[in-house]
Structure 1
Amino acid sequence: MEVDGLRVAVTRKPIRNAYLRVRPPAGAVAVSAPMRMADARIVAFVRERRAWIARQQTRMREQQRIAERELAAAGMLGEPGALGEPGSSAVAPGGPFATGLSGPTASPSVWTDARRAEAAAAIEARLPALLDRWTPVVGRTPTQITLRAMTSRWGSCTPRTGRIRLNLQLGLMEPRFLEYVLVHELTHLWEHGHGAGFQRRMSAYLPEWRALRRELNHHLVLR
């Protein structure tokens, strides 16, 4: 479907609401729509979100440029644009619903056994003190925390089970980023989405959380 010159890939699914995604690396636009949703409603849905789409496409282009500059500086860049695909930006009628914390563009594979062990040891050394500090503040305790080498998220949470997953790469970064991601995911044990309730809690816990999020999402995700 074409909407005012913008090409949109539409997939109809047995869902109640329409969802719009901007997919990296080129900012392709995709809509998942209910089976019986009229084309005219899909067009209106996309038009209402054109400004948001433009912002996401601009952000992805900038992240691509930053990623390529960092990889070139590290001597790791091969063919232009040869970067892994990060998680896409998504929006639904009521706002973002995913409880994972998305990361920026992924780099080529650089994980080694030694680097994994180093990252895991760093996180495991910091976690007890962070949990002692933040679980009383947030008022929720995770049932389990696992470490994974994620390619498109800094962390994720399953509120129903209380399980939190952290990107292993956080162990190779400044400790403040691990703290921010942990608080973000602990907050999801209260708030499933990123709506007003989530934002109020995060602002109460970490007033500078938005600045931390912006800074964190300018880092490459290793894979």
Structure 2
Amino acid sequence: MRTGDSQRRVDGQRVVVRRSSRRRKTVSAYREAGRTVVAIPSGFSRAEEDTWVRRMLTRLADSDRRRSPDGTELARRAERLARQYLDERAIPVSIRWTADQNTRWGSCTPGRGTVRISDRVQGMPGWVIDYVLLHELAHLIEPGHGEDFWALLAAYPHTERARGFLLGVSHAWDS
């Protein structure tokens, strides 16, 4: 947590309120390491803060429901991506969301055919989630990160954009 952040529980969720003197009107929210961060202008009153925290929690929950991040939806999404970009050569034996990956976006065990996607990816844009899925699916075909591996991802049009997005998020979380 940064200096000046306040943390509390709202409806059973860990929430960090990050006040910023650079913000004038905008409010944003995202998930970070098992908690929700709500960034607000520093001039907001406590009542405005409470209103916006609840509003942003509702928006994130609605967004999560629309994405249907259960295992069934994740498996369907992986199958679609494998069919579209990997000639169906990378259908995992199992695929699931996991909460115990704090330094990786996903992981793959090629010998077992298993893929795990960090729940920190939930709430990110769909094209980023698709990239993380494709990245791990490609490891079912090519375990390393050599030229053959990157050639598998070349067909996905958002690879470089998603990698940049994830680098930016990692940088922001590490700050």
How many Å separate the matches in 1 of 2:130 and 2:34? 25
Q: Spell out structure 1 runs of 4+ moving beyond 4 A.
A: 106-109, 118-121
The one-letter amino acid of 2:74's match is L
Cα shift at 1:127: 2.3
Question: Residue 163 of structure 1 aligns with which residue?
Answer: 114
Cα shift at 1:208: 3.0
Over 3 Å counting, the alpha-carbon distance change for 1:187 and 1:145 in structure 2 is same
Contact 2:98 2:119 in 1 (8 A): yes
SS at match of 1:153: coil
Question: Residue 195 of structure 1 aligns with which residue?
Answer: 146
Q: Does 1:215 align with 2:157?
A: no
Cα shift at 1:146: 1.9
> Which of 57, 63, 77 in structure 2 is aligned with 1:130?
77
Cα shift at 1:211: 2.0
Unaligned runs of 5+ in 2: 7-15, 20-30, 37-57
The one-letter amino acid of 2:115's match is I
Contact 1:156 1:164 in 2 (8 A): yes
How many Å separate the matches in 2 of 1:123 and 1:107? 16
The one-letter amino acid of 1:110's match is R
Cα shift at 1:207: 3.4
SS at match of 1:145: strand
How many Å separate the matches in 2 of 1:200 and 1:193? 12
The one-letter amino acid of 2:17's match is G
TM-score by length of 1: 0.45
Q: Does 1:140 align with 2:90?
A: yes
The one-letter amino acid of 1:189's match is L
How many Å separate the matches in 2 of 1:184 and 1:212? 11
- Ranked by relative contact order (alpha carbons within 8 Å, sequence separation 6 or more), the top structure is 1
How many Å separate the matches in 1 of 2:92 and 2:151? 20
Q: Does 1:110 align with 2:35?
A: yes
The one-letter amino acid of 2:151's match is R
Cα shift at 1:209: 0.5
Cα shift at 1:148: 1.3
How many Å separate the matches in 2 of 1:68 and 1:175? 28
